[in-house]
Amino acid sequence: MTGQVLKVAVAGLGAVGMPVAKWLDAGQPGLRLVAVSAGDRARAEKRVANFKTQPSVLELPELVASADIVVEALPPEKFFDLAEPTMAAGKILVAVTVTQILDRLDLIETAKKTGARLIVSTGALAAFDAVRAAQHGKIHSLTMVTRKPPKGLLKAPFVIEQGIDLSDLKAPVCLYKGSVRDAALKFPANVNVAVALSLAGPGPDATSYEIWADPAVERNTHRVILDSDATHLDFTIAGVPTEENPATGKLTPLAVMATLEGLVSPFRIGT
């Protein structure tokens, strides 16, 4: 899609959406911010009032109609309000809330019919290229272990439903151990990278996952272990949490920026 300027809309102006919107407003070759959307429209208008080129503040259906590319940076419960019309309209959706995709793979079938594309931004976790390549051979096992500061897990539905007190932890606590699919139901806003990793590899049922609340860590830390007939991979990434939302790493909006660049750049590194 080089050689043209693509119109971009950003849904959600939180820890991911706002930095992406500011970056687009600063001027990016081949990309132009045309619209934004947020739960509080009046607040959204104030947040973009000082942009060089002020985008329209729209409701989600209008947002989809305004753009070629829609960046999704919404709460999990709002995901399908954006994803469904975007796929139906044949647009490109750059998704951050990946946990919601697992039970709605019919969106991909819709995309095949309409020409839409559903792109998962993966820059917040390393080694997706290696996992995706290994999947073309035989993967024996894929495991991910996440350790987060307790404050980044306080709003997780599983923690709230189980009445788990994370306010004064003295030692690490394993909150979950099992498949990625089950973890996505319990921690819909916390395990997006694990879901993305599983979809690049053997799938959410065959990818093992652990999530820990760990008072000894200051960063969102992920360890990935891949064993396949082509390679053995064992690495750790420690992302710095955002000030606005400790459940989201600072690398996440930067990953979205890199994804958008890849859609218009004539030169690309990585599969």
Per residue of the chain (271 residues), give pLDDT as tens. 446 899 999 999 999 999 999 999 999 999 999 999 999 999 999 999 999 999 999 999 999 999 999 999 999 999 999 999 999 999 999 999 989 998 888 999 999 999 999 999 887 788 899 999 999 999 999 999 999 999 989 999 999 999 999 998 999 999 999 999 999 999 998 899 999 999 999 999 999 999 999 999 999 999 999 999 999 999 999 989 888 888 788 999 999 999 999 999 999 887 6
- Is 6-124+251-264 in CATH node 3.40.50.720? yes
Domain residue spans of the chain: 6-124+251-264, 128-239
Whole-structure pTM value: 0.90
What does the alpha-carbon distance between residue 113 and residue 96 come to, in Å, rounded to a whole number?
23
27: left (phi over 0), alpha (psi -120 to 50) or beta: left
Bridge partner residues of 174 (DSSP): 212
Look up residue 82 and give its two tokens.
């954006």
Q: Are 107 and 87 in contact (CB under 8 A)?
A: yes
Instruction: Identify which of 51, 88, 72 has the alpha carbon closest to the alpha carbon of residue 9.
Output: 72
Check residue 120 and report its DSSP letter.
E
Strands 117-120 and 92-95: parallel
What does the alpha-carbon distance between residue 5 and residue 2 come to, in Å, rounded to a whole number?
8
CATH number given to 128-239: 3.30.360.10
Instruction: Identify which of 96, 92, 94 has the alpha carbon closest to the alpha carbon of residue 114.
Output: 92
Catalytic residues: 222
